[in-house]
Amino acid sequence: GSASCRGLSPSPLNLIAEEETETPKREYLTPANGDAKDVPCCLRIVNGSFVAAQSMEISSSCGVGIELAQHSTLKSTAVAISASHGASLRTKDLSKASFNKLTIVHAEGAGVLASGSSWVFVSKGYVAKTKKQAAMISGNSKVIFKESVITHISNNCFEACAKACLELIQCQVSNVYGVGVLIAEESQASMYDSSMAEAASGAVKATGSANMTLSTCQFVSCGGQMRTATLRFKHNSSCSMAGSNVVRSKGSAARIDDSASFSCRTSSFSLSGACGVVLRGASKASLQVCKCMHNGDCGILVLGPCSLSLMQSEISFNSANGIATFNGAKALIKACHINDNVSSGLVSANGCNPTVSECVLFGNKDHGIMVGRSSLGTFMHNAISKCGGSGISIQAVADPIVSCNEISEVESCGIAADSLAKGTLQDNYIHGVRHHGIRLSQQSCLVVRSNHIKLCKGSGIVASTDSTGVVSGN
């Protein structure tokens, strides 16, 4: 009872700030007061022992509630640990623990502290009101929670580092003061059929080549400020996501940075305070059959030399552009619906080179597509209608290829080129627009060939203000 419990479960990671660029500093799990044998403990199982326990209660431990070490095994049912001054459960040295109906409440330390290649399985668990993590995992250890409730955690909820592994299966996590799941140093985490709500610093953050799997999960009202994303991946980390929904994020729903990769299918990002999905810093993302809707900024924002593949997805009702790519981004966008966004459906600027095909763009308040500031790109076989500006606007030395698109019923021109714009307009069908079919102005110079233009309220093709071009077969 007199031994110090100080330093029993120090956090291995600093909270990742939104603009942090360095890998979090590692802190090791060695107790500050020396070897683990000096740490007070209510139940210690060592030396390869096997213990079966049932209906056990541990309360007000001055140190660790239960500790397993040295290849020991614990199999238990209906265990409750409360008010531990250290970790409620500590495992190490290849030990194993299995719990059916584990309750951990009011812990001063972590709920579960696993290290040294240990293994912990918790079914129908309840973890609440811990001052540190619900589970802290390191050193090739693995922790699994199944059909469990984890709530009111005063720190990050789960942390995994040094090739650790975390699995959450049919779990409910809520009211977390820090990050829901924080993984680093080649660790892995998986969430299946689980939900997370009210995680103040985001639901998931991964860094340092960590890997995350999300399947049929729900994330609601996570993040505490506009710049805090619900899902954040950086520093070569990766995520595979399917059948999941991110709703009402305080900041962006998902942010991928610093060479991280993100693969997503049949998922949605909606009602966020900022963007649906943000890519930065040479990251990669593939989204298929996804929805980005009703977000407070762009549906998808790509900044820098990133790579985006977007297919069969719906980007609609966002408070800025549907999709915006800047600063050398590359994007493949195919068979998507991009509609009813407050600004343009798609914006590409600052040296980007997207390929956009077989998309339907309608009801956007500004242009259907805007290509500007030295961008290239290929825009083919798209249907653009009922936009508040032009169907396609080409600006500021942009040089795209625009062919085989149908543009109708837009409030300005079918295709408008100005500010030294270049490019090729070929085989487009333009009809029923309120102004000119094609307008060239402000020293723009384009090849305009074999376009079919009819029923425009202005001219079919008009060139002004020192514009030039090769016009034939229209």
2 backbone φψ class: left, alpha, beta (φ>0; ψ -120 to 50) = alpha
End-to-end CA distance of the chain: 92
pLDDT tens-digit readout, 403-417:
999 999 999 999 999
**Is the pLDDT score of 145 beyond 50?**
yes
Rounded percentage of the chain residues whose pLDDT exceeds 70 = 91
Reported as a single tens digit per residue, the pLDDT across 101-133 is: 999 999 999 999 999 999 999 999 999 999 999
d(CA 186, CA 162): 6
| Cβ–Cβ under 8 Å, residues 279 and 302 | yes
pLDDT of amino acid 3: 32
Neighbours of 177 (CB within 10 A): 16
Q: How does pLDDT run across 74-109, given as a tens digit for each residue?
A: 999 999 999 988 999 999 999 999 999 999 999 999
- Segment 358-388, tens digit of pLDDT: 999 999 999 999 999 889 999 999 999 999 9
Q: Please give the Cα distance from 399 to 347 (Å, whole number).
A: 14
Give the number of other Cβ atoms within 10 Å of residue 19's Cβ.
7
pLDDT at 257 (0 to 100):
93
pLDDT at 48 over 80: yes
What pLDDT is stored for residue 38 in this prediction? Answer: 58
CA 364, 366, 367, 369 dihedral sign is negative
